[in-house]
Amino acid sequence: MIAPFVSVTELDRMRAGVERDSTDGARPRVVVVDSRWYLDGRSGADAYAHGHLPGAVFVDLDTVLAGPPSAAAGRHPLPEPEVFARGLAAAGIGDDDTVVVYDDAGGVIAARLVWMLRALGQSAAVLDGGFAAWQQEHPEEALEAGEPAGAGDASPASRTVRSWPAAALATIDETQAAAADGTAIVLDARTADRYRGDTEPVDARPGHIPGAASLSCRDNVAADGTLLGTATLRERLTALGADRLPVISYCGSGVTACHTLLVLEQVGLPAGRLYPGSWSQYAADAQRPVATGE
């Protein structure tokens, strides 16, 4: 399995290697995925249609990477495995493909699909620096345009329906208890102002799970959207105890929390668990205690 983050140069080498090895016209084994999505309601599919990396396919967060939103499950609960499998097959992504995913948000959206695939044992990585990094490395290469493929439009792909691995997930009760008693490090990947409760633009209540620590996923990347150095990231995580205790990661809806989990793996720390419902589920339950401030 490849590392959780790969550079544009590494992607180019991977794709070139596939082209050299492909003598029978088979579908390439490296699939590039555009997973752009915007909290403000802009359309990732429209962004893809306007211009995307050559050969990239589009996978929609709301319909493929998440189930129906609800107060009981959160804004982006994990989809049923069958729904996930059908969505990837429709995009032409097979079980044996190596998948590299990009966005234009420092990788924090792309991380969701990458984490999902890696949790199922499939080789996948975030393209470090994403859309902008590719353009910088390929200033003379034109973007492609066109609508995302619909079901039946893409190359045939075989997808196996699996269950989500329980060992990679934490429930709402497990997360609340671990944050309270310190049996795990519960990390909140939202921005610090949302963690403190200064603002809450989308969910039922401001604040955070009592006992959780703030470690914004957006602080994992530099201004250009590329991942910070391994030493810096490892130091931040070990300062919070991620080298001594298991980690549970949450965010607003279980999307950007995946970035924290990939960073743990990237820097060689033990794998953490995702709390999929995240703050959107937790805050909607008025019986759950909430903390504000640092």
CATH number at residue 266: 3.40.250.10
CB within 8 A of 145, min separation 6: which ones? 49, 50, 51, 52
Residues 10 and 127 in one domain: yes
For the question of residue 217 being annotated catalytic, the response is no
Q: Is residue 229 part of a domain?
A: yes
Q: Is residue 145 part of a domain?
A: no
CB within 8 A of 25, min separation 6: which ones? none
Q: pLDDT value at position 152?
A: 45
pLDDT at 18 > cutoff 70: no
Q: pLDDT value at position 161?
A: 73
- Residue 216's pLDDT band, with cuts at 50, 70 and 90, is very high
Residues 120 and 188 in one domain: no
CA 247 to chain centroid, in Å, comes to 16
Q: pLDDT value at position 151?
A: 47
Quick: pLDDT tens for 102-152: 999 999 999 999 999 999 999 999 999 999 999 999 998 999 998 887 544
Q: Which of 137, 154, 179 is the last residue of a domain?
A: 137
Residues 10 and 133 in one domain: yes
Residues 263 and 185 in one domain: yes
Residues 181 and 121 in one domain: no
The phi and psi torsions of 57 (rounded to 5 degrees) equal -110, 160
Residues 218 and 173 in one domain: yes
- Return the amino acid letter for 61: L
Q: Is residue 198 part of a domain?
A: yes
State what percent of residues in the chain have pLDDT above 70: 93
Residues 11 and 93 in one domain: yes
Q: Is residue 209 part of a domain?
A: yes
Q: Is residue 29 part of a domain?
A: yes
Mean pLDDT over the full length of the chain:
92
- Identify the residue with better confidence: 271 or 19: 271
Indicate which residue of 251, 263, 274, 284 is catalytic: 251
pLDDT at 229 > cutoff 90: yes
Quick: pLDDT tens for 240-261: 999 999 999 999 999 999 999 9
Residues 116 and 74 in one domain: yes
- Residue 20's pLDDT band, with cuts at 50, 70 and 90, is low
What domain range is 215 assigned to? 166-284
Q: pLDDT value at position 154?
A: 47
Q: pLDDT value at position 28?
A: 53
pLDDT at 156 > cutoff 90: no
Domain count, the chain: 2
Residues 232 and 109 in one domain: no
Residues 76 and 195 in one domain: no
